[in-house]
Amino acid sequence: MPLTIVEARDLSVAFDGRQVLSGVNFSIRQGDYIGLVGPNGSGKSTLIKCMLGLIRSSHGAISLFGSAPVEMKNRERIGYLPQRMDFFNPRFPTTVTEVISQGLIATRRAGKSSGREEIEKVIELLDLLGLRNRLIGELSGGQQQRVIIARALVNEPDFLILDEPTSALDPEVRESFFELLHELNEKKRATIVLVTHDIGGVGQYATKLMYLDKKVIFFGGFDEFCHSENMASFFGSASQHIICHKH
Ligand code: ADP
Ligand code: MG
């Protein structure tokens, strides 16, 4: 049985007395590549923040790498792309290359390469060559998001959590982005959780599907999804097969 990366047991979250997640149970194993989908406001970003220890549950428990999510030793193993990037001070004079290099954790790189090669690779992949010396605050929102994706990927983390990353990517960059995720997942056994609106396309890259709507409606492989009578009655059999992409 592969290592457990995240384990949620009867997890519930409420904001101002309103239940946002309720009785959520699942285990994420090393090497899983999960497409996390669900309607707007279904709790996807909240669930991810619970995994990272950024939000506390009101009930139940969640662990990350077998310990409490907030522990610092977990941080360097994770690449996280938040849905909203409201943490950039546009007046702070940091260049694109500097922001990306913040993603390289010194301890992991000690005795290894300088990280320069990794930086070059993500700069090229995310089409940032022409922007590398620009100040981050001068860039458009979409360009900034590409920089933050690059920062999340540069450390080649064990566990990558990406909250709706593709909205800022044009089709060409999107393709190389998905190729890189595939490579990290296949060759480095990175575990990936990708929140996406693209429920029709998610079967092309993810290996598991989690459908969330305050609780886990479905979590499993696409074959299982496809053959589930439960899901057929939930989604309608036409949509079910569009999602599974195989039959
Ligand atoms: P999703 O990412 O699936 O669109 P979210 O997890 O962002 O959903 O939000 C789930 C629900 O929780 C929404 O109704 C949202 O308004 C609410 N919510 C999220 N964060 C907060 C917060 N910090 N305070 C109060 N309500 C919140
Ligand atoms: Mg969200």
Q: Say if ligand 1 is within 6 A of residue 15 CB.
A: yes
Is the C-beta atom of 43 inside 6 A of ligand 1? yes
Handedness of CA 141, 142, 145, 147 (dihedral sign): negative
% of the chain residues with pLDDT over 90 = 47
For 2, 59, 82, 221, the CA distances from 24, given in Å and listed in that order, are: 21, 10, 21, 18
Please tell me the distance between residue 147's alpha carbon and the centre of ligand 1 in angstroms.
Answer: 25
Structural contact between residues 191 and 157, judged by C-beta atoms closer than 8 angstroms: no
From 37, 45, 52, 210, the mutation candidate for ligand 1 (largest count of ligand atoms within 8 A of CB) is 45
Is the shortest distance between the CB of 39 and ligand 1 below 6 Å? no
DSSP-assigned letters across all residues of 45-91: HHHHHHHTTSS--SEEEEEETTB-TT-HHHHTTEEEE-S------TT
DSSP state of 168: G
pLDDT digits (tens, 9 = 90+) for 25-84: 999 999 999 999 999 999 999 999 999 999 999 999 999 998 887 766 677 788 888 887
Is the CB of residue 41 below 6 angstroms from any atom belonging to ligand 1? yes
User: Which one of the ligands is nearest to 36 CA?
Assistant: 1
Angstrom distance (rounded) from CA 199 to CA 40: 13
pTM (two decimals): 0.89
Q: Which atom of ligand 1 is nearest to the CA of 42?
A: 3
Nearest CA to ligand 1 atom 7: 45
Q: Is 42 in the pocket of ligand 1 (CB under 6 A)?
A: yes
Q: Which atom of ligand 1 is nearest to the CA of 46?
A: 6
Tens digits of per-residue pLDDT, 92-151?
A: 788 999 999 888 865 455 555 678 888 999 999 888 999 999 999 888 888 888 898 899
**Dihedral sign, CA of 98, 127, 125, 192?**
positive
**CB-ligand 1 contact for 92 (6 Å cutoff):** no
For residue 107, count other CB atoms closer than 10 A to its CB. Answer: 8
Q: State if residue 38 touches ligand 1 by the CB under 6 angstroms criterion.
A: yes
